[in-house]
Amino acid sequence: MMLLEIDNLMKAFGGFQATDGVNLSVEKGSLRSLIGPNGAGKTTLFNQITGYLVPDSGRVVFKGKEITGLHPYQISRIGITRAFQIINIFPRLTVLESVQLAILAKRGHTLKCFAPAKKMVLGEAMAVLETVNLAERANALARELSHGDQRVLELALALAGEPELLLLDEPMAGMSPFERVKVTELIQRIHQDRGVTVLFCEHDMDVVFGISERVTVLHQGRVIAEGPPEEIKKNEEVHMVYLGQSEVN
C-alpha cells in the first residue's frame, strides 16, 4: 500500500521552477532516501508535503486522502512530522517540555487550560528521550544543548509527534562522524522498532546507500532515477549529475 503519493507536483519561485512535475510514491513501512545536488528541490518538496508551501499544481495524497494545501498544523496531526535541516527547536523550553508538548499537540490536548502539563504524557515523553538517548538531558533548556544534541532533539520532536511518515531533512548536517553513526542507527531503529515510514534526504552517500531500501534522485526539480541502492549506484545519469560531464566523457 502506498502511504504517500505525489502526483505531478509543480512549484516555481519567480522564473525558477523549483519543483518541475515530481512524481513520487512511498510505500508504507519503507525506508526511502531522496538525494540530489544542492538546489535540486529536496527541501522545497518537503515544504510542499508538510504544507509549508502550497504547490502551484499537482497533488499530495496521504493514506488515500488529498492533503494538498492543508496547513502544517493539520498535516502534522494526521501523521506526517518533520525534522528540519537547520536547527528548529524551542530555545527556552526544556528538552522534556518540548517533547511532552509535541505529544500533547499530536493528541489534540493543547487547548486544555487547567490540566497540569508537567504531569501529562510524562512516560511517553521519557520513552522518546530514551529512544534518542537524550533522557539524561531531559531538564536542560534546549538552548543549552550541544549542536549534536540539538539535532537529536530536532529528531525527537518529529518522533514525538507519533508519525506514520517521518520526513528528515539532512539529519546528519554538521554532525561529527561519531554522531553520524549514532543517528544512522537511530533512524534504523525508529524504522524497524516503531514501524515508521521514513523519507529522508542526505548528502552522506555512505548513509544513503547503507540504510535505504530505495533511493530517489532529484535533479532540477525532477525525478531522474529511482530504485534500490545498487541500481542507483550504477546509473549513468546519476553519475553525470553528481560528478559532472567530464566523468562521462
Partner 1 sequence: MAGGSNSVWRSGWLWAGLAVVGLALYPQFVSRYYIVLSTEVVILALLATSYNLIFGYGGMVSFGHAAFFGLGAYAMAILTKHYGNPMLVGLLAAPVIAAAFAFVIGWFCMRTIRLYFALLSLAFAQLLYVIVFQWYEFTGGSDGIQGVPRPEILASHASNYYFALAVTILCMLVMWFIVNSPFGWSLRAIRENTQRSQFLGINDRFYKVIAFTIAGAFAGVAGGLYALFQKWADPELLFWTTSANPVLMSILGGMFNFVGPSVGAVAFVALREIIKVRTDYWPLVLGLVLLTLVLVLPGGIVGFVAEKARYLRSATKGGTQAP
Measured between alpha carbons, how far is 33 from 35 in angstroms, rounded to an integer?
Answer: 6
DSSP of 208-244: HHHH-SEEEEEETTEEEEEE-HHHHHH-HHHHHHHH-
Nearer to partner 1, 140 or 205 (CB): 140
Q: Is 231 an interacting residue with respect to partner 1 (CB under 8 A)? A: no
Nearer to partner 1, 1 or 111 (CB): 111
Q: Is 81 an interacting residue with respect to partner 1 (CB under 8 A)? A: yes
Let me know: does 197 contact 164? Beta carbons within 8 Å: yes
Question: Which residue in 13, 66, 71, 176 binds partner 1 (CB under 8 A)?
Answer: 71
Phi and psi dihedrals of 227, rounded to 5?
165, -175
**Minimum distance from CB of 65 to partner 1 (Å)?**
17
User: Can you read off the three cell numbers belonging to residue 84?
Assistant: 528540519
Site string for partner 1, 32-51 (x = CB under 8 A): ------------------x-
Measured between alpha carbons, how far is 136 from 85 in angstroms, rounded to an integer?
Answer: 24
Nearer to partner 1, 76 or 212 (CB): 76
Strand locations in 99-221 (E): 165-169, 197-201, 214-219
- Report the alpha-carbon angle 91-95-96, nearest 5: 140
Question: Which residue in 64, 118, 245, 249 binds partner 1 (CB under 8 A)?
Answer: 118
Question: Which residue in 82, 151, 214, 219 binds partner 1 (CB under 8 A)?
Answer: 82
User: Can you read off the three cell numbers belonging to residue 116?
Assistant: 497540569
Q: Is 65 an interacting residue with respect to partner 1 (CB under 8 A)? A: no
Nearer to partner 1, 10 or 105 (CB): 105
31 forms bridges with which residues in the sheet? 198
Question: Which residue in 14, 38, 111, 123 binds partner 1 (CB under 8 A)?
Answer: 111
Q: Which residue ranges make up the site for partner 1 (CB under 8 A)? A: 50, 52, 71-74, 76-77, 81-82, 84, 88-93, 97-98, 100-102, 104-106, 108-118, 120, 122, 138-140, 144, 157, 161
